[in-house]
Structure 1
């Protein structure tokens, strides 16, 4: 009887207020008027204030004082228009479920970015939450780079929804699609700015048989083996390793095919620039055979400077190919026949250098047995 009296008085109060009736399931705008550690009182512009219990405030057991404060505005879900004690029973979490679903649906349809918090690693990826909505991020969609899944647990990630099926509770997101778009944008800008001849800082990303790839800030270029050093390089690992920070010069730029040639060797230390003026016709060098061809042998006489010994200049003997008497890596004496500084070419002779050596030895043989005292016996020192 007492409850009936209360209900009757409420009905009368509502009639006096001339307000639109509310019903279970409605989502209203509310303003916090009081908070304690058990519940939150909310003004919903209705005849009665609303009440949100601790359990209906958040998805976890958080103290209401840590969630909201007086005058905060929030969406609320009507659980019951009358709790029997003069309050409208409300839920924040149920309102969030509705609005969060609407937000995710809108983000999916409009390809918008949302933020989710990663909770745990599961088979095939990680589970994150957008409020109270479970979101699965496959391992392949965490990043465009290789990432250990454990390192993202507890982090807030910006993602895009790539699959959505609320009926089957399937919400799939990707961080990678965002990174790919940003990468392509940065790459396009980088290709527009890069210029041949400029010096850039970069990081070695890959090693190949023919050279090393370097990222110079959004785009990747190749340093061919020949451009790693002025000296002969047999494998890139002899000069650089993945992760090395390097200073490179930009060579040929092919924007249409997105190909970039880079040079690691310092142009100021180009061997011909360093040694070219010191090489004279007729000079004898101790050299090393670097390559053999059908027409002759290439011999390095100074670091990075090599010349050609034509097959006719190897020996006076009749040979069909340089490999008959020479091998790569062999040490030989050579004589400079001609210096072409403009085209950076040397003509060398092994047989002429050998003849000069024989003349020197012959002279020593003739003087064999003569002491220094005998040679200078008629010389008077003053």
Structure 2
């Protein structure tokens, strides 16, 4: 009799030690078996739990020994099994987590699953969320598909459980990260040093380069020694470049950069090659009210003042010249230190005439060959 009482007490203790479960409960269990049709989960109950493949989360990698959440669909089916759902548990837990993250502004990890109208869809614990294109990054994202499959840390910008709407922002994370990097980088940067960077944006006046947390500007004139009309002639967005740090304004956070190599300055030693009185050939690259700029070699330009275009009166440079014209000119002044050169087209006419007289018998050269038709009105 005592043995029977002892056995009953023992069974009662065992029963009391086992957890009680009910429909709609959310449990945590350990996977003990995985096959194509179902997984078996130890939930610390008298029976193991079964999750059919239709109740699994798509794309989830299930492995023996992993802990997962499980929603109780039926605590006791006809065969005595506990029927569970992983995807329902993940959705419920996910909504709770996201609400908590929204209220406390916690950083939350999500995975981008597809490109949708106006942005991308992302998933957190089987909860579908939306990241607008404007909140995907601190800068404009042209190709949203480049984010497919990526895991991102985000902030919950908007949350409405009833409407099943969750709006996320990766931009908020990046802004904070970049600000931290910017502070550190501004402390480290020194004028004159070389840095690696990536071209992020092209504007008419230059190219912006990300140095790893802070952007600097390469002005149009500092992209190359030769004349550049638009940054796209030299660089493209996404290019990796090596730049010189030209100047730093720590108050405004502005950084000036140079892409062209200092040791390749075409003006270095220019006075050794060009002297006052030399006859040179060049291309008209820019017209101003006061004269025309002529490139005589890559990166070396001279100015033909309005009064030096012709011996005849010229009201404005465009009356006699146009960009792209090939001309001859005489050097009036060379200032290597300040990278300036003065030229005269009208003085070249006399020199060209002398050369013409010397070679016309041999080559049949005419003034038209030397200057074209652009000055025909002035040389009548």
1:161 aligns with 2:135: no
1:103 aligns with 2:128: no
**Distance across 2 between alignment mates of 1:354 and 1:340:** 24
Give 2:367's aligned residue. none
**Distance across 1 between alignment mates of 2:51 and 2:162:** 25
Contact kept, 8 Å, 2:31 with 2:39, in 1: the verdict is: no
Of residues 128, 133, 145, the one that matches 1:140 is 133
> How much has 1:54 moved relative to structure 2?
0.6
Give 2:47's aligned residue. 51
> How much has 1:111 moved relative to structure 2?
2.0
Question: Tell me, which stretches of 5 or more residues in structure 2 are unaligned?
Answer: 1-6, 362-380
CA RMSD of aligned residues (A): 4.8
Contact kept, 8 Å, 2:31 with 2:64, in 1: the verdict is: no
**Distance across 2 between alignment mates of 1:119 and 1:309:** 62
**Distance across 1 between alignment mates of 2:246 and 2:179:** 22
> How much has 1:137 moved relative to structure 2?
1.8
Structure 1 residues 330-341: aligned runs within 5 Å: 330-341=325-336
Structure 1 residues 1-382: aligned runs within 5 Å: 13-14=11-12, 24=22, 39-43=40-44, 49-55=45-51, 59-60=55-56, 67-69=63-65, 93=86, 100-117=94-111, 128-132=122-126, 134-140=127-133, 143-144=136-137, 146=141, 156-293=151-288, 295-322=290-317, 325-359=320-354
Question: Tell me, which stretches of 5 or more residues in structure 1 are unaligned?
Answer: 1-8, 44-48, 367-382
> How much has 1:346 moved relative to structure 2?
2.9
Q: Deviation digits for residues 113-145 of structure 1, max 9, x if unmatched?
A: 33345556666655554435x232234377215
Give 2:364's aligned residue. none
More deviation, 332-341/19-28: 19-28
Q: Deviation digits for residues 285-340 of structure 1, max 9, x if unmatched?
A: 23344445555544433433233444554444455555555544444433333333
> How much has 1:354 moved relative to structure 2?
3.0
Change (3 A) 1:147 1:90: farther
> How much has 1:273 moved relative to structure 2?
0.2
With the length of structure 1 as denominator, give the TM-score of the two structures.
0.67
Q: Which secondary structure state, in structure 2, belongs to the residue aligned with residue 355 of structure 1?
A: helix
Q: Which secondary structure state, in structure 1, belongs to the residue aligned with residue 267 of structure 2?
A: helix
Contact kept, 8 Å, 2:77 with 2:83, in 1: the verdict is: no
> How much has 1:279 moved relative to structure 2?
2.0
Give 1:46's aligned residue. none
Contact kept, 8 Å, 1:213 with 1:223, in 2: the verdict is: yes
**Distance across 1 between alignment mates of 2:307 and 2:109:** 76
Larger radius of gyration: 1
> How much has 1:185 moved relative to structure 2?
3.0
With the length of structure 2 as denominator, give the TM-score of the two structures.
0.67
Tell me the number of residue pairs that the alignment of Structure 1 and Structure 2 aligns.
346
